[in-house]
């Protein structure tokens, strides 16, 4: 057992999902930003990394028209996601995006890769971003939704610093031909193109 558990893998996330922990729901404002920045999928492939219980993957698939795969390292999260499918919906894959073989995913390249409330938890952010770049099709979009440290109005210092640091925000936004951002209260959304 390592002294500190990685926050980018199943040892950290599976117990949280299994114990009933849930995360911020998609709201109408976030859906409007996606419609504006991502546009219609037209059946093109999308990959939602760290898909959790599947809300974003289902939205991409059913509302925006992307042929979506949700990948998560937590079997409990994926079981929740799959249980909500009443008909043909997203494909679900259990994998660790930081270490597993990316060629095992259903498509070799994705028009859209999304990552909602996940980037912050990646221990090796440069390595994670390299792997995402390998998954993006030419002209594709990487959509990231993340908290920014210091954006919360709270006197609790631990909660105030929830989110990514300015250095991690700069790392995320560096090396793309197009960088668009939009703020959603304490969250920032990024639409990044290679």
Residues that bind ligand SAM in the complex, under the rule CB under 6 A: 8-9, 13, 23, 50-52, 56, 71-74, 77, 96-98, 116-118, 121
Closest to ligand SAM by CB, 55 or 111? 55
Helix, strand, or coil here: 68?
strand
- By C-beta, is 51 or 141 nearer to ligand SAM? 51
Surface-to-core class of residue 102, CB atoms within 10 Å of its CB (0-12 exposed, 13-18 middle, 19+ buried):
middle
Nearer to ligand SAM, 123 or 139 (CB): 123
Paired tokens of 123: 């221990």
Q: How far is the CB of 138 from ligand SAM (least distance, A)?
A: 24
Residue 110, classified by CB atoms within 10 Å of its CB into exposed (0-12), middle (13-18) or buried (19+), is buried
Task: Give the nearest distance from C-beta 191 to ligand SAM in angstroms.
Answer: 17
Separation of alpha carbons 148 and 111, rounded Å? 26
Number of other residues whose CB lies within 10 A of the CB of residue 97: 24
Toward ligand SAM, which CB reaches closer, 178 or 184? Answer: 184
In whole angstroms, the minimum distance from the beta carbon of 6 to ligand SAM comes to 8
Which two tokens mark 148?
A: 């920014």
Between 118 and 129, whose beta carbon lies closer to ligand SAM? 118
Least separation in angstroms between residue 177's CB and ligand SAM is: 26
Minimum CB separation of residue 122 from ligand SAM in Å reads 7
Q: Which residues pair with 183 in a beta bridge?
A: 188
CA distances from 194 to 13, 50, 91, 134 (A): 30, 21, 25, 10
The helix/strand/coil state of 96 is: coil
Nearer to ligand SAM, 139 or 159 (CB): 159
Q: Tell me the C-alpha distance between 7 and 144, whole Å.
A: 18
CB of 164 to ligand SAM, least distance (A): 13
């Amino acid at each position: 057992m390592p002294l500190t558990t990685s926050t980018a893998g199943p040892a950290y996330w599976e117990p949280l999902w299994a114990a009933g922990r849930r995360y911020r729901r998609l709201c109408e404002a976030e859906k409007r930003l996606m419609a504006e920045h991502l546009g219609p999928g037209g059946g093109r492939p999308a990959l939602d990394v760290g898909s959790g219980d599947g809300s974003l993957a289902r939205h991409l698939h059913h509302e925006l028209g992307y042929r979506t795969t949700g990948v998560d390292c937590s079997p409990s999260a994926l079981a929740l996601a799959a249980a909500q499918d009443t008909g043909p919906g997203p494909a679900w894959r259990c994998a660790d995006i930081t270490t597993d073989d990316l060629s095992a995913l259903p498509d070799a390249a994705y028009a859209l890769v999304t990552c909602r409330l996940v980037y912050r938890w990646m221990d090796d952010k440069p390595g994670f971003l390299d792997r995402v770049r390998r998954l993006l099709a030419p002209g594709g979009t990487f959509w990231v939704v993340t908290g920014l440290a210091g954006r919360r109005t709270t006197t609790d210092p631990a909660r105030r610093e929830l989110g990514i640091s300015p250095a991690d925000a700069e790392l995320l936004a560096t090396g793309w031909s197009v960088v668009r951002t939009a703020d959603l209260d304490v969250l920032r959304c990024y639409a990044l193109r290679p």
